Amino acid sequence: MQRREFIAAAALAVATPAAIAAEEKKKVWPRVPLEWYGEGMFNELAEKGSGAASPGPEGRPTAYIAFDSQCPWCEKLYRASIPLNDRIKFVWCPVAVLSINSEPQGTMILAAADPWKKFVEHEEHFHDKEFRGLPVDQKEVWKLPEKIRAKVWTNSKIVRRNGTRTIPYGVFKTRAGEYRAIYSGMTTEDLKKVCDL
């Protein structure tokens, strides 16, 4: 190798980590991953999933949303969905991906006599200084019902095997049978468009 080639190669080797780091900063996950299978996610959550359903009139079209109880973006999406509860049935399906508190909080929501009321309680306390949402005593987690804990993991498996990469992530089935993605950062207006409102 000639001296010039050696110097150029050495400079490239030094620059490569910085270039890679710059590329990583630019990297943005696609909002709808290529491998996402909306129909599978919708049907599996409808048949085998568990969640807290927003109250409202019967006959509303349904949207299933996978959320982690420790996720701030999930809480924001919940806030954006509130004005649409009278027209869309949102079923919030807890998954465990972010923290040791995710599974127990999801279990507490699903185990409640009124899962929706417990879900709202969790969201209303999401910004408390003491704890993010429902308080969890890790020494007492083992007392939570195993069958309900398993439901949180069933939700988690469903969304993973249907290509979901991020949380929150949801799916809405239009009256025409189209499966549309609901994802982090959506506003009420965005949700209206997805849900044909």
Kindly state the average pLDDT of the residues 163-185: 94
Range 73-77 average pLDDT? 96
Global pTM exceeds 0.85: no
Q: What is the pLDDT of residue 29?
A: 56
- Domain 38-194 falls in which CATH fold? Glutaredoxin (3.40.30)
Q: Is a pLDDT exceeding 70 seen at residue 28?
A: no
Residue 165 is predicted with a pLDDT of 87
- Region at 127 (left for phi over 0; alpha for psi -120 to 50; beta for the rest): alpha
pLDDT at 34: 78
- Is the dihedral angle over the CA atoms 40, 43, 44, 50 positive or is it negative? positive
Please name the residues in contact with 168: beta carbons below 8 A apart, sequence gap of 6 or more: 65, 66, 67, 68, 71, 73, 74, 77, 182, 183, 184
**DSSP code of residue 17:** H
Residue 157 parent element (H or E): helix 146-161
**pLDDT(160) > 60:** yes
How high is the mean pLDDT of the chain? 88
